[in-house]
Every structure is written in structure tokens, then in C-alpha cells.
Structure 1
Amino acid sequence: PIVRAQLTASSAAYPLVEQFYPYRYDFTSYHQGSWPRSLAFERRKQTSRLRHDLLLLNWEGAALWRFGIDDAEQSEPLSSQLPAAMFKTLLVAGLPDYGVQLKPRPEGQAPPPESTLDRLALLQQIRALPLLPDTSEDLTVTDGKEFIHYRVTVIKRELIQAAAGSRSAWKIRVEGFESDHGEERFRHRPVYIWISDDQRRLPLRFVIRHAVGTFTVEMQPGSAIQSVANAISVNEVKRH
């Protein structure tokens, strides 16, 4: 079965962020949770400009394609560029047939490693992990340009004060690596995710530290995940 996941984020509710870095994100992932691997990833991202593109992973032909959507130049309909079975599967799962709105991006032609995920499918895979201390899993993630090695580690269960109140949650560390002259090094500082300790396994909080401060995303009661500029202590996100 194909899992369709969607995430929308906006800075509209936060005047300070809106003043310096306004953004609107809309991500949709189509992936096979039992494999796990992605089939398609649609991204609509607007900051200083709008970027709308589609990533397709054809596992029959071991190919990865990237398309721009609504570009001035036009290409062939999506139905003529994909294997018939894959096209039908994605349409049934809810992917729009953008027809001649698609323009191939030449940089997205590398064959994907087995079980490659998009970024939103990575979050879904994290939610499916066995939630036990020291559980770790290595995953491959792509944005269509490159393949990134991620290591996901369950740290501990703890009580947190989230927007929805006091919640029991699992703290998870996500580390990204890149190759540097044959050796792996950290691609960015670790991202910490708190997943609710219940059957829904909701992502309650994301935290990443930058040179300018700490960026936090929390789930708000009765709404989608939204960004919040919460300051937290260094001890809360230190590496264990």
C-alpha cells in the first residue's frame, strides 16, 4: 500500500519571523511504509520566490527524476514519462497529473540507493521505529540532487511541557552525514524530535540549534504543526 503524508508550515502567525524570513511550505510524500521507500515527493516552497517541484523515484528502472511545475517551458504529460503501473499507482494515491506543466530538471538523474526516502517519509519512518532506548537505524534520504545518510537514535522517554500540555514523549536524535574525501562528517547539527508515547506517535516538538540561536517547531492543539520561536536551555538539547 502507498502512504500519502502531507505537511504544511507557515510563518504567518509569527510577526517577527514574518518580518525577517517569511515562508510557506507545503510537502506531500507518497511512499511505501513497509519497504520503506519513496515513490514521489511534491514540494511547494515559497520564501523570497516560489519553487514548486516534483521528485519521482522509479524503482523498476532504478531512476530518479526531478521536475519543475508551472515552468514557462513545457514538456510531455506525466503519463507519457512514467511506467504505466507506477503512473496508475500514484494517481490512485492522490498525485495530480500535472500534464504539460512539468519541466525535467537535468540534475536529478542519478540512480537511487535501495530504500531511499524523501524528507517527509523520513519522519514517517521515525514514527514507526521501535521506541526503545538506544534503538538506532540508518536511512538514506534524497532531495533529488544528492543522497544523504541519516542515523536515527532513540534517546529516552521523558515528560515534556508541550503546547497541548504535559505529555510523555520519546526523545529521538537525527544526525545527517556527508562524505568528505572518503570520510563521513556531520552535515548539520543534530535534530531532536519528541514523539508522543501513545498509539498515534505524534511529532510533538522538533529542535535544532544554529549559530544564531535555537529553532523550535511544536504541534499546536487542534491545528497543523507550526513554527514557534521558543527559547530552550542548552541542556535540553545536549547530546547524550
Structure 2
Amino acid sequence: MITYITDCHDGNARARLSIRIGALFGQSPTIVAADGPDPESFAALTLLDCLESLALLGEEGHPTITLVNIAPRDGVWPNGVPFCFFWYGKHLIASTFNARVLSLVRRELGIQNVHVTDIREAVSAAGFDPADVEKIAGTQFRSLWYLPLLAKWVADGRSVPSTETAVPQPVDAEPVVAHVDNFGNCKLDRRLDLIPGRSLPVAQRNDDGSTTIVDVTCYPHLTAVPRNTPGLVPGSSGNNFTELVIRGGSAAAAFGLRPGDTVLEPVSAQVA
């Protein structure tokens, strides 16, 4: 099974990614759109959840391949951030070397190091002629032309030139909304120390741009939250990462929150 998490997900891009990966692997990928205002936090949580879902299968299970492409052209790297790969058990992940995207698998799964590749070096080592090497290295759509090749070579056990590199440890910032699900629940990027019955101050964004601090009660699970009432509960993502919910309503709409928004006052962010 191949899953591709990418911020390049329009119809044209999906078609090209699907047919290229289908030709390389004999199966088309499930393409997951990393859209919204903070694709990095979405990709980080989704990658972690994909890998966490491989635990406790109750069966031997099949190897999987996960590709991740979140590569803003920020000018730090020539033609964008490089690509890397690592293994989680028998499961292969090939990704852009993006510290925020890799931050949760680093923290939760202990992925301390990855293998960073140089496109020109890797494609040259695979025997491509110089003109094609430059085409692949210089294209705007490297996640189409290079990343599937990298995953194919590594999955097939071919030697790919790479440098083992530590995943940078991000500065420990305040909890943020990593994803808003279709119910309007706000999934945070970590597990907070929730004591049922106590409350934590949550920042509500108002239409006029002001912020109101609302004391939100902690509950042991979703069904303990009174209907139409906000609550903080252990969620389904990560290691029981906290979710801000309104049972029967949308917490995101009620609190004016989007992915990337901080949620709590700094003194209140008690992480378990």
C-alpha cells in the first residue's frame, strides 16, 4: 500500500502522481491533500497517525510506503528542501526533510535520524544521463519526478547515496491546532495533562479580532461532555493527543480556530 501526503494536490497533480507511481510500483497511491492554512502541522499529525495505525494489527500485515511532500520554496535550499527516507519497522517513509513535518515522529516514535539525499547525486548514481539528471534536479515538480523514484529504489533494496542526519528538534512552542476534523473538533499536536473536572483557559478568537479567554472543563472522553458544551478530552490522534470539542457542535467554529492557531495561555499548557 502506498500513501502520498502532499501539499500539491490539484486535479492535474493528482493525475500525474497517480500514473507515475502506478507505473513504478504497479499500484496507484492514496493521495492525501495537505491543505488549509498550516499544511506542515497537518502533515506531521497525519504521518504520525498513519504510522501509529500500524500497531496492534493482530496480523503479520504487509509493508507499506508513505510519501510526504511539504516543500515551501523559502530560499534556504537551492530549488527547495532536500528529500530523505527512513524506516519504521518494515515500513518505508520517503519525505521532504522538513523539521516540523518530522517533529511528531521524532518526539513520539523516536525517529532521531533520517537519510538525506542529494537529487543530482542519487539520480547520477542510478545511471541517468547528465541531461536527465539536470531535468529531474531542476524541475519545479520534484515531488513527481524524484520522490517516487527515491521510494522505489529504497523499497527495492538498491543503494542510494545519502547522509544520515539528525532530525532537528523544534523549539518547544505552545500547543497548536494541528487539524480540524469534519465534526469541527480541534486536534492538538500533543497530549495535555487533563484532570477531569478541572478547566484550562482556551483562547477564543472573536470576529472583531479580539481574544476572549474561556475556561473549558476537562473530561475523560467525548461522551462525558454535556451536549452543546465545550470540553477538552483525550482524542484519537497520536498518543491520546488532546482535542477541543463541542459535543453536538463545531469547536472550531465556536472558538474561531484554524490549523496552526495556538490554543492555551502559556502558563496553562501542561504537557503530560
Higher relative contact order (CA 8 A, sep 6+): 2
Report which of the two structures shows the higher radius of gyration computed on alpha carbons: 2
TM-score, normalization by structure 2:
0.30
TM-score, normalization by structure 1:
0.33
